[in-house]
Amino acid sequence: MQYRLTDLNGESWLGPDSPVGLRYVRGIDGASFEHQMIKGAGQRGATWLGKELAEGQIAIGANVNPARRLGVKGEGAVGVLSKWRDGLGEGEAERDGNQLRFRLVDTDRYQLVRLRERKPADWEQMRVAGFFFDEVIFQADDPDWYSDPETYTFTPAEFGGATVANPGTVDAWVGYKLYGPITNPTLGIAGEAVKLPNLTSGQWLEINTDPNWYEVTDQAGADRTFNLTTLATAGGLDDRWRQQAKARTLSIPVTITGTGTTSATKLEVIVPRIWRSAL
């Protein structure tokens, strides 16, 4: 299997032309977890409440070997190790817009990670021999693996039978982008329908339904969540989305209704691809 590490300086490592190769990789098969249970006197067994997922951990054994891969020893080799170590950082996950990202090329799934543990480097060995075996442990605060999201586009003629898919192994909060004109629109998935404000030609709404990043903005970048609350209160409806795209589901119905549409009206549904493991 092939891997790539994009570091905090935007450099790519572990490829066939990289001075750093891999001896081993561990931890790509999903995060560990603990069962949460309660027990009581006289109870036969336990009552299961749920599970608690730990953060992800990826351990790698990296051959930093510019002598073999680049024909470089001495200060040039020391420079390679210095560049490698600097790119791993000191526990930060992002630097100047560059994310520390570990990817399995075979499945194109990745985790955003931060350095958790490393051993002191042998700089003298690197200078003399042009080689150092670096054992590094990364932490992924979010234990899930990601691949590029899928965007589905529907015209008004397709609104009635619109469906999306989530082949991933984790339920996903979808995103929407609705372009006007459309009057009295409602929008959701899996039978859910949230009322939205009217849109004229040239107007649009961009929506993130994830409760951790919930956002409804318009073409001017203005926050429109209050409009949804007002509409929901007047109509006795909900003002936000509660349904996720269920994992391993290849036909999830999309609810999109409204009148006054034209050829300029369209809906984009963005479904993240989220996986429990890299494989």
Burial class (CB in 10 A: 0-12, 13-18, 19+), 236: exposed
Q: What is the mean pLDDT of residues 101-107?
A: 98
* Cross-strand partners of 255: 188
Q: In sequence order, which residues have a C-beta less than 8 Å from that of residue 102 and are 6 or more positions away? A: 3, 4, 5, 58, 110, 111, 113, 138, 140
| Residue in this structure with the two tokens 């890299």, named with its chain if needed | 278
User: Residue 28 — pLDDT band, cuts 50, 70, 90?
Assistant: very high
Task: Delimit the CATH 2.40.30.200 region(s) of the chain.
Answer: 3-143
User: Residue 226 — pLDDT band, cuts 50, 70, 90?
Assistant: confident
The tokens for 22 are: 């891999």
* Fold classification of 146-275 (topology level): Jelly Rolls (2.60.120)
Q: Does residue 233 register a pLDDT over 90?
A: no
Structure confidence at residue 228 (pLDDT):
83
Task: Delimit the CATH 2.60.120.860 region(s) of the chain.
Answer: 146-275
Q: What CATH class is the domain 3-143?
A: mainly beta
Q: In 3D, which of 71, 57, 60, 56 has the Cα closest to residue 13? A: 60
Q: What is the mean pLDDT of residues 47-53?
A: 92
Distance from C-alpha of 257 to C-alpha of 184, rounded to nearest angstrom: 8
Structure confidence at residue 238 (pLDDT):
75
Structure confidence at residue 240 (pLDDT):
87
Mean pLDDT taken over the chain: 95
Structure confidence at residue 236 (pLDDT):
66
